[in-house]
A and B are shown apart, each in its own frame.
Chain A
Amino acid sequence: MSIVDLTVHELVEKLEKKELTITEINKAYAERIKEKEPEVGAFISDLSEDALEEAKKIEEKVSNGEIKNENHLAGIPIAIKDNMCVKGTRTTCASKMLENFVAPYDATVIEKLKAENLTFLGKVNMDEFAMGASTEYSALQKTKNPWNLNCVPGGSSGGSAAVVASKMAPWALGSDTGGSIRQPASFCGIVGLKPTYGLVSRYGLVAFASSLDQIGPMTRDVRDNAMLLNLIVGHDEHDSTSIKTEKKDYTKALVNDVKGLKIGLPKEYFGEGINEEVKASIDKVIEKYKELGAEVEECSLDIAEYALATYYIIACAEASSNLGRFDGIRYGYRTKNFKTLKDIYRNSRTEGFGDEVKRRIILGTYVLSSGYYDAYYKKAQQVRTLVRQEFNKAFEKYDLILTPTSPTTAFEIGTKSNNPLEMYLADICTVSINIAGVPAISVPCGTSSKGLPIGFQLIGKHFDEETIYRAAYTYEQNTDFKGLEG
């Protein structure tokens, strides 16, 4: 077994026992990236050489006591989705618009990781401005699914999922607006959590849809996931929507026991459009939970069918406003072709944004326009309230809700990128969770006949990540899903 095969908690254990050094770990990853990156194409900025230099310094500081290292995480490397600002590095959002934008400050999550002295392996690919479900909408490069290089890694956090699955990073941060952590986690056979809205600060995350975006951990297993969540949560005075909660240790929730846990299966998420192999795999998960003593029963979330439409109205409306700042004036791409101010705006945005981004800006601008606001945006907000209420009602009865993460396994590159509607349907199982603001995880539960991973989704109550972790951990401990080998 090589260093890159280890989970973070295994690395930490070996560091504690001095069976491994910080430098060895970072060196192993720098080498792994050299080997694998040419075929996967996940890194927009490969910083692994810098990380190795940093690791040497950290190792020295740990040994001379300058770094206390209470959590034994100093020198553990991580990859970051390229929509989070890391001071002094490019933050591109995989857009031509920000191709050469160097962030002048650290996102709050990055500050927190720096406080633990993690090293940064690089900034990884995504759909442009996190808009997409396959990472094909990256304007900068193509990322492939490490399980099958003809397939997409999912999206928008496709780069984060691909580096964790291909062992080019032990773990990564992604962001999730409508499924962007969970769906690629499912496509790449890893664990991805979208925390409750407000649990993790969004400061420094380039906004797509402010009321839906959340940063979350993408890891090889559930324990690593809880450990990474521990590092990034907490109220931030720079983010008014981040919530004051008491400090928790999520690894304490990792108990191998689901006896008596009530799990609901909303029938709307198991109907038409769900791939048979996915369905069969989820059925096995259900059987496993029953076997382990959970009470599992069918339920209904019938507002769900409106969630996708609601999501695209709200997300696009917010995006149309959030992306206004990319105007070619202060930073980012500026057209060379202008005579007037309007030319700068028009041509910079026409040349700097990709088609999917433009599509959503146009859609969002439309739903906020006077005369249409009430019919679309306002109505969508009303439906949003109903979705939230329906989830709350379901949670009066159930501790968790279980669904597939995605109706399909990873699809082949190029098969959906020209059909926006079909691409939007890839989010069908995940968007309602962001609309409701509740937390959800995707856990791998098998592979298809073509050898592609399948994931299931566990949805919890607001701020009850613990129950999600408990059930996910129990499942993981009692099954034997194997990550990508080699």
Chain B
Amino acid sequence: MAREDYEVVIGLEVHAELSTKSKIFCSCSTEFGGDPNTHCCPICMAMPGTLPVLNEKVVEYAVKAGLATNCEISRNSKNDRKNYFYPDLPKAYQISQYDMPLCENGYVEIETENGPKKIRLLRIHIEEDAGKLNHDPYRGGSLVDLNRAGVPLIETVSMPDISSSAEAEAYLRKLKSIFEYIEVSDCKMQEGSLRADVNVSIRKKGETKLGTRTEMKNMNSFKSIVRAIEYEINRQVEVLDNGGVVSQESLRWDDALGKTFSMRDKEDAQDYRYFPDPDLVAIRLSDEYIEEIRRNLPELPESRRKRYIEEFKLPEYDAKMITASKYLSNMFEKAVEICNNPKSVSNWIMSDIARILNEKELEPSEIPFTAEELGELVVLIDKGTISSAIAKKVLDELFVNPKSPQKIVEEKGWVQISDEGAIKEVVLKVLENNQQSVADYKAGKDKALGFLVGQAMKETKGKANPQMLNKMFLDELKK
């Protein structure tokens, strides 16, 4: 059977590190990086006799995330221990939530080729991150770094409502954008602060029973998630088509080889022996507490998107792209405040800035220049100080050596030539040197005009005012 004969069912478990200042059960810093084992204390190193105390901010952030994803918030919740041995888990149990998560039954809406679709959320719960194992380059073996141990996480578990790799990507992007908006996580995937376990199964179309799923653990880039899902679908189709059965297992995605590998180890058939953590007390939330958080929830991407379409008259697509990132969206709004030209700012973001980010593989938050500088760039264009050709050069410069665009233009001598005499001089010179093009134009080849304007731009190193240039060529050619 072909792949089209199968239906794909995908569910995601997304781990987001919360951006609280301190860890979930002690007062150590959550800051990323730092020399190994410098952000830890007896508590997160699980020294004998230490006890956890729940950081209330973690509960607040998780409730925020729950409210922003339409979840019901549990008034009564608790922490449970998940027991297993691994060197990055100093207590030999992870404090998580088992049967009474903080948030349940939510949904987020994504755009698909068939229109909007709701992806239901089973739950969001709080838990602690584990440490990290680093390879010892000198003596071999592994070294344990516990800086990350105890960094708070929320795990968002979707229902198996996702039907393609594109939907999986859209869902993850949506979740990322929501968490960024409500400022509960910085969602830096390259630093591992947003990562997903991806469950994939397939079944024959029309079948109501779910197929056996496989789980790909700890995926932390959109590209590899999409590739891994595609690979896994094809692999499962092949297995079934050859009369085999898909076995339920955990897989490791190897990005370099573009393949999944089984992580199966029979002795690892885990029984986590969950039980309520006796060191922590029940989490009881009042209606007032939840309502207070709801009232203070920041504007979400959905509402901004609508506002951009109505208020700024942006095309639906542009509004969606810009609001997908809170950072870009904030940049857009600030730049518009300065130049009062939303259409132009949007165009710059959608075309040149997006292209450069893509080329340099940067996240929007890594844009080196400020929103004010972007606004000023648009002001310079609108005032006619520079042409849009020059503006592109200024933008390139902003990515390399960010400073005020006005200064860049002055220092580089890129101010647009709008002096009629000077332009006329260039026009006459170009006409003189390009007799053939003049003849072509007069013979009805309109394209020749473009060529002439181009030549004049070359002559002025792009500084000539293009409207004036155009007009003057037409005037001269009519003579």
Contacts and interface: CB of A to CB of B under 8 A. Distances in A.
Most B-side CB within 10 Å, residue of A93, A98, A203: A203
A240 B53 contact: yes
A203 B53 CA distance: 11
Given A240-B54, A241-B281, A365-B273, A101 B48 contact: yes
B53 A93 contact: no
B195 interface: no
B367 to A, nearest CB: 41
A237 B53 contact: yes
Given A321-B81, A330-B90, A85 B48 contact: yes
Interface string A352-393: 000000000000010011100100010000000000000000
B52 A240 contact: yes
A325 B275 contact: no
A121 B143 CA distance: 38
B128 to A, nearest CB: 14
Nearest to A105: B42
Contacts of B312: none
Most B-side CB within 10 Å, residue of A84, A93, A327, A377: A327
Contact of A206 (B49, B144, B275): B49
B258 to A, nearest CB: 29
B53 A210 contact: no
A339 to B, nearest CB: 12
B278 interface: yes
A317 interface: yes
Given A210-B278, A369-B273, A370-B271, A107 B92 contact: no
B46 interface: yes
Contacts of B81: 321
Contacts of B470: none
A86 B141 CA distance: 33
B11 to A, nearest CB: 22
A346 to B, nearest CB: 10
Interface residues of A, number: 45
Interface string A332-349: 000000000110010000
Contacts of B48: 85, 91, 93, 98, 101, 103, 206-207, 325-326, 331
A318 B277 CA distance: 9
B45 interface: yes
A460 to B, nearest CB: 23
B364 interface: no
Contacts of A368: 83, 273-275
B51 A238 contact: yes
B144 A330 contact: yes
Contacts of B49: 83-85, 91, 103, 107, 203-207
A333 to B, nearest CB: 12
B85 A327 contact: yes
Given A103-B49, A240-B53, A240-B281, A325 B271 contact: no
B54 to A, nearest CB: 7
B273 A331 contact: no
A273 interface: no
B211 interface: no
A148 interface: no
A451 interface: no
A325 B278 contact: no
Contacts of B92: 321, 324-325, 327
Nearest to B273: A368
B100 to A, nearest CB: 14
A420 interface: no
B279 interface: yes
A202 interface: yes
Given A98-B48, A329-B87, 8 more contacts: A84-B49, A207-B48, A239-B53, A241-B279, A318-B278, A327-B85, A341-B87, A368-B274
18 contacts: A98-B48, A103-B48, A210-B278, A239-B53, A239-B279, A240-B52, A240-B54, A320-B83, A321-B81, A324-B85, A325-B90, A326-B48, A327-B85, A327-B87, A327-B92, A330-B45, A330-B90, A365-B273
Interface of B: 42, 45-54, 81, 83, 85, 87, 90-93, 144, 267, 271, 273-275, 278-281
